[in-house]
Amino acid sequence: MSGRSAWDRAARFGVVAATAAVALGAATGRAAVAQAGGPSATGLGAESTALARLRSLEETWAARDRLRQSRFERGAPTWADGLWLPDIPIRWDARTVRYLEYFRDDPRGHRAMAEWIARSTRYARPIEAALAAQGLPRDLRCVPMVESAYEPTARSDRGAAGLWQLMAPTAAAYGAGPSFWVDPRLDPRRSSEAAARLLRDLHTRFGSWELALSAYHMGYVSLLRAMRRYNTNDYETLASIEAGLPYETPMYVSKIAACMIVLRNLDRFGFAGVEQAAPRDVEWFSVPGGLRLEVLDEAAGLEEGTLASYNPALIRGRTPPGRERWSLRVPPGAAEALARRWGALE
């Protein structure tokens, strides 16, 4: 990246006309000065608007190249030697390193990560099954870690919901759109399947996980607009331009990268002793539509609210009235109890 000339980078920003003007000036014997000096430099003619733009671009890109090169030369910190790395390429930029140090050294970051790790195994089965079904790296389990802290009923002020914090239109495009009675975004299995298909498509479209995760965070259309506006599909370029990506998006991508590294190296970050939640085992039981969950709790001899916690997608507290039958998740042993007591319900 840093080996490209300033002219190549300028052309990427659509200033071909300005480059041609420089070439024409050289051909007629004019001096083409690439130094900072501005329009009033001694002995030069007036600087056109296009040339002023070109000079600004060259100076800006030269400064950014120096900053970017220093980051690449620095690379991973010495304390990261010997870490197991994810299957997804990791950029050792300052953002990622700061997050790693935050999770390792800062009490707040360490405590938050410990809580996430403790919850990470509760819904690991549907998450990892969905990723595997799409041929995606297991490391992407860190997306719901950052999105919702593995809380299947999490909701944002902007309307995103579930483990993967899917917006309603996005979920609908991938077969998990909410209705009056059911919000599949709150279902760990269905939301994971929708999110995995979305991530697969974004990676296929953009060709890199950094861009795919950026689109997941800021929106597919928003990333397309940014790429067209700045005439580049390079993540680091977009991240380095002040208005290229929203400030939060590169932070989000680096945070996920840091979480991937932590989960691969629990002992190195001080999390080897964290007690992880047992995976939620479930059975399935078919019931008629329109039944209240608390009635089913009572019939199965469960505490009130148990079936609601196992079926968070049933946002009205009952099976959808318009459905003849509904497959309900129940705790192990509850299906047998419901079958024995089913006569009382019918």
| Count of CA atoms in the C-beta half-sphere (13 A) of 23 | 7
In whole angstroms, what is the distance from residue 194 CA to residue 173 CA?
A: 9
- Helices 107-120 and 94-105: angle between axes, nearest 10 degrees: 90
Q: Which residue is listed with tokens 């990268």?
A: 257
> Residue 152, exposed/middle/buried by CB under 10 A (0-12, 13-18, 19+)?
buried
Q: DSSP strand E in the chain: where?
A: 283-288, 325-330
How many helical (H) and strand (E) elements, i.e. helices and strands, does the chain have? 16, 2
In whole angstroms, what is the distance from residue 91 CA to residue 71 CA?
A: 10
Residue 36, helix vs strand vs coil: coil
In whole angstroms, what is the distance from residue 246 CA to residue 191 CA?
A: 25
State yes or no: is 236 an active-site residue: no
Contact call for residues 182 and 314 (beta carbons, < 8 A): yes
Catalytic residue among 147, 151, 193, 236: 147
Residues 220-229 as b or e (16 or more Cβ within 10 Å = b): beebeebbee
Active site members: 147
